[in-house]
Amino acid sequence: MTDWSVFDIMIPTGQYIRRYCMKKLAKFILNHQKSIVFFVVVVTLIMAFLSSKIEINPSMKGLLPQDDPYVKVFNEASDNFKGADSIIAVVQGNEKDIKNYIDNIVNKLKKLDGIDSIIDKQPVDFMLNNSYNLANKKDIKFLNYYLGSKSLNDVINSFNVMFGEGDFKVKFSKNEKKQMKAMIDNMNLFFNDIYDPSNADKDIYKKVIIGDKYFISEDNTTGMFFIRPKSYDDINKMNSLVNSIEKVVKDNTKNYNVEAGITGTYVIQRDEMVVSQKDMTRATIVSLLLIVVIFIFGFKALRYTILSIIPLIIGIIWTIGITYILIGSLNIITVMMGVILLGLGIDYSIHIISLYMELKNKKMENDEIIYQIFEKTIPGIISGAVTTAIGFGMFVFSSFDTFKQFGIILFLGIIFTLIITILLMPSMLLKFGKKYKKIKKFHIKRNFLKFKYIYFAIAILVVGVSIFNIKNIKFESNMMKIEAKGLETVRLNKILIDKFDLSSDNTIFISDNLDEARELYKKLENLDTVSLIDSVVDYIPKDQKEKINMIDPISNYSEFDYDLFKKQISQLKFNINLASVALRFMKENELSDKLKELNNNNLFKNINTINVDKLKRAQEFLINGIQSIQIDKGIIKEDNLPEFIHDSYISNSGKILTTVYPSDDIWDMNFQKKYRKDLDNLNNEKYSGTALIFLKVMDIAAKEGFKVLIFTIIGIMAILLIDLKNIKYAIYAILPMILSLITLVGIMGIFGIKFDVINIIAIPLIIGIGVDDGIHLIHRFKKEKNILRALFSTGRAIILTTLTTVSAFGSFMLSDYRGFIGFGFLLSLGIILCYVYTIFILGGLLSLEKKE
């Protein structure tokens, strides 16, 4: 037989000391009621004043230390460049309406305070005038023929040079593929405009060289432009700016027959804050209403609800006041403190009121009732509260400052609420609890524990099945699945990915000089996880002198020759087919198919029947346009860039900003792993981004969370050993919580419920809360020496505390934010399981004890 009673020698002395202390405390409170109330009121007024001065720092950066590399880079970018993060406006409609809308809306947006810059078009004039500087060397010969054209024959000849002498047997970078697709689309438009110049795009001669100046999707149904707001540490200011931008963008859509909206990290952040605030408000109101209903049904009087809420409100005020002194502010995690205390702190009042009503029914005198409360209930309340407080207090051992603050605040909140409840509740009950309705005794069938071995067998079976299914647990890989349904910003982000292969959540890099930025660019353009690189490197190529020396405009045909034109078109079709075959040989099937489709344009199909006058009109507007291009033969340098380009990429100290847009959804965990691995492999530490900061917070939370869980369980076990002074009872007290966690995770595995970054927070809360019922039952059992009497006495309180806790946290299931729904469900189910295991398993185990 195992000796469970190694600490039992301490019990008589410990029980005597505890009983003596409780009696003295009860006497002190009875004799100094007015002084205690005066003290609490004065301290509350002081704490209320301090609470009014506390600030909420809701920025994601505030969750990481200021010396974190991500935070340092982000702050440096915010201080030195125009907007470290972007909002993307997405516009849908037909191409003409989209472009008209963008032209007009950008002017209105520029009038808003808080916007640093807007990138709605490519710098066309600059790019045209520097065509040779910005071109690839392999394209210089095409430019010489194209820009030297004096007739339509010259123009077609330049394309024959491109396709006949172009190198299509090399590997294309991702960026080069995108450029080639755009070029093929523009060439198709170009040839169709030659066929019918009456509807020709006046800028088509430019598009062949630099592409469309607008950011338009391949199917011409979607446009986008970039808005760079000023960086604000105050999330409320940023949200206000996002609201202003969204209003301007949306208010003008009907006038242009388009649909438009905005997306990006700032917009998602705004939406999450709005939704979570609504959800928090709804959850608080619903939980309070449910608690009122539970109190009325449990105690048959509304006054007890009011009495129980008073210590809770005072406890929260004290906690916020002390937080201001110790920390100075709340962040987006610690601001949840009030809701958590609402779910936990009210339990203390329930246990006191429950015993008060029970003893009142026995016609006991008021003073004796208070002494009995302090002897029978207060020790269990203190033990449960201290255990829960220690559970949260273990967060201070985390190296993550946010967890430390979370632990300190909740530890103090629970202790303050406990102290205020003990000090005020007896006095309030004596003052306002004289009138009461007699309530029925808590009923429990005396023979229900006769089936304890059946309960044990069922528990063993359930836990066994749960353990077997734990292996099926998965973590949600798509962060967007925990967002509220129907968020426009999520829908628009998907449109960006579908139409542009681009996600709105960018990453910023800071390079010390241009050479470093060029080296970074070279590495980035070979990554499949990168869609768009926005860098000054695009405007300051390395080999400009060599390319400028190659400038030699060529014209072979000064007059238009129709017969020659037909031969040239025939040769061009042949060259296009050869290039298509070469691309297919290089396994560039998409490019090959797109190029082959070029032969289906109207000009090629109708070359033998086309009206020559149409061709001459096409020649006139094309040649006039081409000859209007003024080629700049100077070298592009940092100091002679146009101001709007220079200021977007280069700081006053000469540092270079590069902005990278991922090719897929960064919130999809599978893509996220690959993207972050690619960034790590760059061997470049100077990068950051709002999304990356958030992901790092989640990484640290997961890593530190596991460590905190271990500390929490150890801390709770230590407190239970000190409190119960018996290893067996300590194990008994923690057993329902352990069995509940195993069952909960098993249920998740069976039904395919996934963990995510929000609902996983329920686990440490269950650990902190789940031992309370067991502690109260064991304390009452040790006092009554009989499990049935213990259940008769404390059963009502345990049920009511379970119901109020489930009401507080279960109300999250009414949220729009799906992460809160999962959090509320798991926490509610975990608390219910703790109750069931406490009554049936712990009750059964205690019934095996010798009756005294």
pLDDT digits (tens, 9 = 90+) for 43-93: 999 999 999 988 776 566 667 777 888 888 888 887 787 666 789 999 999
Please tell me the predicted confidence (pLDDT) of residue 333. 72
Kindly state the DSSP code that residue 85 receives in the 8-state scheme.
Answer: S
Please tell me the predicted confidence (pLDDT) of residue 171. 61
Cβ neighbors of 133 (< 8 A, separation 6 or more) are 541, 544, 547, 548, 632, 635, 636
CB 773 within 8 A of CB 735: no
CB 746 within 8 A of CB 469: yes
* Window from 289-303, 542-556, 818-832 with minimum mean pLDDT: 289-303
310-314, 762-766, 775-779, range with greatest mean pLDDT:
310-314
The average pLDDT across 427-452 equals 69
**Phi/psi of residue 458, each to 5°?**
-65, -40
Cβ neighbors of 149 (< 8 A, separation 6 or more) are 155, 158, 555, 622, 623, 626
Instruction: Say whether pLDDT at 452 is over 90.
Output: no
Please tell me the predicted confidence (pLDDT) of residue 82. 64
**Which band of pLDDT confidence, cut at 50, 70 and 90, is reported for residue 747?**
very high
Percent over 70 (pLDDT), the chain: 93
The average pLDDT across 117-127 equals 90
Residue 274 exposure: Cα atoms within 13 Å on the Cβ side: 13
Rg for the chain, CA atoms, rounded:
36
Instruction: Say whether pLDDT at 752 is over 80.
Output: yes
Cβ neighbors of 230 (< 8 A, separation 6 or more) are 82, 83, 114, 115, 116, 241
Cβ neighbors of 839 (< 8 A, separation 6 or more) are 791, 795, 798
Please tell me the predicted confidence (pLDDT) of residue 732. 93
Tokens 């926005």 belong to: 534
Cβ neighbors of 682 (< 8 A, separation 6 or more) are 520, 523, 524
Please tell me the predicted confidence (pLDDT) of residue 749. 93
Please tell me the predicted confidence (pLDDT) of residue 10. 45
Burial of 434 (0-12, 13-18, 19+ CB in 10 A): exposed
**Which band of pLDDT confidence, cut at 50, 70 and 90, is reported for residue 106?**
very high
pLDDT digits (tens, 9 = 90+) for 150-183: 999 999 999 999 888 766 555 666 667 777 888 8
Please tell me the predicted confidence (pLDDT) of residue 819. 84
Q: How far is CA 804 from the centre of its chain?
A: 29
Instruction: Say whether pLDDT at 517 is over 90.
Output: yes
pLDDT digits (tens, 9 = 90+) for 703-738: 777 788 888 888 888 888 888 888 999 999 999 999
CB 502 within 8 A of CB 496: yes
Give me the chain's average pLDDT, please.
86
Please tell me the predicted confidence (pLDDT) of residue 172. 65
7-16, 73-82, 117-126, 461-470, range with greatest mean pLDDT:
461-470
Strand bridging mode 55-57 / 329-331:
parallel
DSSP 659-694: EEEESS-TTBHHHHHHHHHHHHTTT---EE-HHHHH
Tokens of 739: 């069995």
User: 490: closest CA among 756, 257, 280, 668?
Assistant: 668
pLDDT digits (tens, 9 = 90+) for 196-208: 888 888 888 888 8
Instruction: Say whether pLDDT at 511 is over 70.
Output: yes
Buried b (16+ CB within 10 A) or exposed e, 224-249: bbbbbbbbbeebeebbebbebbbebb
For 485: left if phi > 0, alpha if psi spans -120 to 50, otherwise beta; the answer is: beta
Enumerate domains of the chain plus CATH numbers: 19-61+270-472+694-847 (1.20.1640.10), 143-200+552-630 (no CATH)
359-368, 593-602, 759-768, range with greatest mean pLDDT:
593-602
| DSSP helix/strand/coil, 228 | strand
236-245, 294-303, 481-490, 708-717, range with greatest mean pLDDT:
236-245
**Which band of pLDDT confidence, cut at 50, 70 and 90, is reported for residue 529?**
very high
**Which band of pLDDT confidence, cut at 50, 70 and 90, is reported for residue 11?**
very low
Strands (E), 301-400: 329-331
User: In whole angstroms, what is the distance from residue 733 CA to residue 720 CA?
Assistant: 8
CA dihedral 564, 568, 571, 573 (to 10 degrees): -130
Tokens 């300590």 belong to: 730
Instruction: Say whether pLDDT at 328 is over 60.
Output: yes
Please tell me the predicted confidence (pLDDT) of residue 377. 86
